[in-house]
Structure 1
Amino acid sequence: MKTFPLVLSAPSGAGKTTIARRLRERRGDVDFSVSATTRLPRPGERDGVDYHFVPEDEFRRMIAAGALIEWAQVHGAFYGTPRSYVDDAARNGRFLLLDIDVQGARLIRNAVPEAVHVFILPPSGRALVQRLVGRGSEDDARVQRRLRNALDEIGTASEFDHVVVNDELDAAVRDVNAVLEGRVHALRPHPPLEGIVGEIRFEIERHLDASVADGRATGQL
């Protein structure tokens, strides 16, 4: 089977990292690209496993040295993909999973044309809000910023080779696994992309508008 890099992108809270981990657990021919980031670890995250957590000056040195195949500033922090992961996977004939944002995906599309790109959508805007709030790892302002960014990120879904709706985790993992195996006919159908994206965006915007109204009512704005 011909291997290739598989890019997974999604708004925060859609579940792309969990899907990537499940795929790695079930397949012996998949490596996971551990991104470098300047953000602080969340509870339970481990350096070198979830991310390479580095200070900003070290991240900038990696950029200058050409050690990152792509990088971007997202949600106030820097994220990037070490070039070594892509090179090692290609040399060893293994699939490489890249869990990156849409900015990084665009750069990978140009730098690694053989990569296959999958966008993970939440089942609804309401579900995305609940997942982000439920994390409990960030204050309300950061959650609101992630939701505002999600409005733009979700609008890029049509740029990707495939779209998977993460309405049920095991089914979403099977969908992405089917892409790895070249069985794209096995992907579950979803409603027309324009419609589902519009509904998700509407629900996110409604939540953000309500948050602004609540802030005004309590004198926080």
Structure 2
Amino acid sequence: MKTRLIIVAAPSGAGKSSFVEKLSKENPRLVDIVTYTTRAMRKGESEGQPYHFISSEDFQKKIKEGFFVEWAKVHTNFYGTSFESIENAWKQDKCAIMDIDIQGVATFKAKFPDAKTVFILPPSIDELRRRIEKRDGGVPADIEVRMANAEKEIREASKFDYQIVNDVFEQSYSQFKKIVEELLA
């Protein structure tokens, strides 16, 4: 049976969103699942790109309604994936691909045991810090929380079906693309 669900996880700033976004645009068999978040939009983002931005109140209401396959508090904000978004991809006979926080992976694997998992590793913890600071236009207020979480998350990498070190983006992306194409074959 071909793969119907691919889950990509990584510490914040390791490149998971960039990989998933780029490959989803290149491969029509993939649907990039847009998750919900309570975090503020960053420069260059908009509703649905790369998240559905909702209030904490709306998020809590959706939790009570059973709207999410999984949800988690990551750093200081909530993130969640809806059942509907995955089901819509499957109705189109496409593979759902998503980047989610590592906390959500176990929940997904419990509900969808045939899901494949990919972990994107930074070349080093120092490089990860540099990328986050560059991306966020300076040192984010929660940088130490993110770095502590990153170290915990990296220790979980061996539990994933595949691991890729994102050192040189194009080379690492090629590896990622090859893995996904093999899963879809």
Same fold, TM-score > 0.5, yes or no: yes
TM superposition outliers: structure 1 runs of 4+ over 4 Å: 137-140
> What residue in structure 2 maps to residue 122 of structure 1?
122
2:13, 2:132 within 8 Å by CA — same for their partners in 1? yes
Which moved further from structure 2: 134-143 or 72-81?
134-143
- Give the aligned length: 183
> What residue in structure 2 maps to residue 22 of structure 1?
22
Question: 2: CA distance between counterparts of 1:2 and 1:136?
Answer: 37
* Structure 1 gaps, min length 5: 184-221
Shift of 1:64: 1.2
> What residue in structure 1 maps to residue 91 of structure 2?
91
Shift of 1:156: 0.6
Question: 1: CA distance between counterparts of 2:84 and 2:110?
Answer: 17
Shift of 1:71: 0.3
> What residue in structure 1 maps to residue 40 of structure 2?
40
> What residue in structure 2 maps to residue 163 of structure 1?
163
User: Deviation digits for residues 95-121 of structure 1, max 9, x if unmatched?
Assistant: 111110100111111111111000000
Partner of 1:182, secondary structure, is helix
Partner of 1:51, secondary structure, is strand
> What residue in structure 2 maps to residue 51 of structure 1?
51
Structure with bigger strand share is: 2
Structure with bigger helix share is: 1
Question: 2: CA distance between counterparts of 1:140 and 1:182?
Answer: 37
| Percent identity of paired positions between Structure 1 and Structure 2 | 36
User: Deviation digits for residues 70-96 of structure 1, max 9, x if unmatched?
Assistant: 000011110000111211122222111
The one-letter code sitting in structure 2 at the alignment partner of 1:42 is R
Structure 1 length-normalised TM: 0.78
The one-letter code sitting in structure 2 at the alignment partner of 1:162 is Y
Partner of 1:28, secondary structure, is coil
* Structure 2 gaps, min length 5: none
Q: Which gives a bigger RCO, structure 1 or 2 (Cα 8 Å, sep 6+)? A: 2
